[in-house]
Structure 1
Amino acid sequence: MSPPPATLRLEVAEMVATLTLDRPPVNAIDRAMKEEVIAAFDALHDREDVRAIVLTGAGRAFSAGADLKERPGIAGEPGAYPRHNRLTRAVFEAIMDCGKPVIAAVNGAAIGAGAVLALSADIILVAEDAFLSMTEVDVGLAGGVRHVRRHFGESDARLMIYTARRIPGPELLRMNVASLCLPRDALLAEAQRIGREIAGKVPLAVQAAKRSFQVTEYLPLHEGYVFEQGQTAALSRTEDTQEAWRAFAEKRKPVFRGR
């Protein structure tokens, strides 16, 4: 039996998993946290009792980013940087590839790799006093550009990357990076409420919708829509979709079985 995670807390209630980064004082991302985040999202992908995931941070920070003490040095052993970079990519890919929608509840500072963690989620909620910042240029690095461009307009993305300035919660809402900006004490409850709302939908349809977002992100309109139509055609033959149709006609709550 695997030991419990040392840097995460996991709670599951009403089909919603809440995964909390918990590495005091600021949830800096070290190798252990990377491996535990990957393992957690891989497991949640397969859990039948989970239909949505909330990702948040313990304490006053979401995550202050990578633990720079673990970054390979210029004179490090051969292969250290490729291994480091591959593991780092795998953290964000585990969130994006997870079949369940992920809601980032950004409760405080999200810096560097911590900001990319949030930007890897499907839905982003921020506290009013939270912020995102890419500070790589302050320490002679230049990562995170591609993830930032997925959510920010071109000018705002460059402003964020080139200046390393903090983009506060209300500005993230104005820039359409976040869906909601809330008081800190209301943030987690709202993220979990959205998770429960998602959990009440046809599970296979939600998973197919996330797959469509993943596959069609860089496809032309025609090819993307053809893929979506194929998803819908396949769903129409599933038991859950047919149950949803019957329940709608009979004006009752559907019972989904994940098939």
Structure 2
Amino acid sequence: MSETFETLTLEVADHVATVTLNRPPVNAQNAAFREEIVRVFDMLHDREDVRAVVLTGAGKAFSAGADLKERPNIAGIAGAYPAHNRRVRASFDCIMECGKPVIAAVNGAAIGAGCVLALSCDIILVAEEAYLSMTEVDVGLAGGVRHVLRHFGQSDARLMIYTARRMTGPELLRMNVASLCLPRAELLAAAQGIGREIAGKVPLAVQAAKRSFQVTEYMPLNDGYKFEQSQTVALASTEDTQEAWRAFAEKRRPVFKGR
């Protein structure tokens, strides 16, 4: 199963999909990019041969953000901004709503919408020379605050937004925004390795865990835990969970069928 894209590439191996942003020179996000990233993540959501996804960038940048050359074309046109904003939200929501865990391998600059793209992923790995930056205040715009607050502490989030400062790989690790900070040459392999590790778990259980993260993020503790328990009850009768229990008792590798 293969499909050609204009602004990104897709490879699948060992149940791990690698999506590479590929719009030279800096992977800026235009309308075509947003349409394609929604299309590819919706497809990966349903593909049975994919259990985890890695998102990275081609070249030296992860993504330099929105292609501002498009913005003057919509100013003053009735209805243009609501439609544009809806497409932008969808390009982030498709990652957060994908049923498979998504690992960001931030290989270089992730600026503005590129930063939000990385923050929409489940797990974040960064290269030592990579950085996240929200530069909206430099160009008279505002945005990204809510996504930044999901990963950064209150003071660090405000420092980032108000100053447009670059938060480098080592700083992101210290702030607990990134799980790993690695040399660029080791980054993609590490992300794909985590993807293969996830792919070795019960697929339906991993998907249920991601669903729990999505649903319970802003719930009170008791309500959130009740939802998680409902997921466990639903999983208990599935073939894959039964196979996992049998394999554990028999000291062998389980064979999962996704049901």
TM category (shorter chain) comes to over 0.9
User: How many residues were matched structurally?
Assistant: 258
Partners in 1 of 2:154 and 2:26 — Cα distance?
29
Q: Could you tell me which runs of 5 or more consecutive residues in structure 1 were left unpaired when the two chains were aligned.
A: none
8 A Cα contact 2:5 2:36, kept in partner: yes
1:61-94 C-alpha deviation (Å, 9 max, x unpaired) = 0000000011156842100100100000000000
TM value normalised by structure 1: 0.98
8 A Cα contact 1:72 1:84, kept in partner: no
2:21 equivalent to 1:38 = no
Counterpart residue number, 1:175: 175
Partners in 1 of 2:146 and 2:246 — Cα distance?
44
Residues 3 and 47 of structure 1, relative CA distance in 2, 3 Å threshold: closer
Q: How does 1:103-118 map to 2 (within 5 A)?
A: 103-118=103-118
1:104-134 C-alpha deviation (Å, 9 max, x unpaired) = 0000000000000000000000000000000
Counterpart residue number, 1:246: 246
8 A Cα contact 2:75 2:81, kept in partner: no
Q: How much has 1:3 moved relative to structure 2?
A: 6.9
Counterpart residue number, 2:145: 145
Counterpart residue number, 2:14: 14
Q: Could you tell me which runs of 5 or more consecutive residues in structure 2 were left unpaired when the two chains were aligned.
A: none
8 A Cα contact 1:71 1:84, kept in partner: no
Partners in 2 of 1:71 and 1:209 — Cα distance?
38
Q: How much has 1:4 moved relative to structure 2?
A: 1.9
8 A Cα contact 2:123 2:179, kept in partner: yes
8 A Cα contact 1:103 1:195, kept in partner: yes
Partners in 2 of 1:242 and 1:194 — Cα distance?
24
Counterpart residue number, 1:100: 100
Identity of aligned residues (%): 79
Moved over 6 A (4+): none
8 A Cα contact 1:72 1:80, kept in partner: no
| RMSD of Structure 2 on Structure 1 (CA) | 1.1
8 A Cα contact 1:62 1:106, kept in partner: yes
Partners in 1 of 2:230 and 2:74 — Cα distance?
49
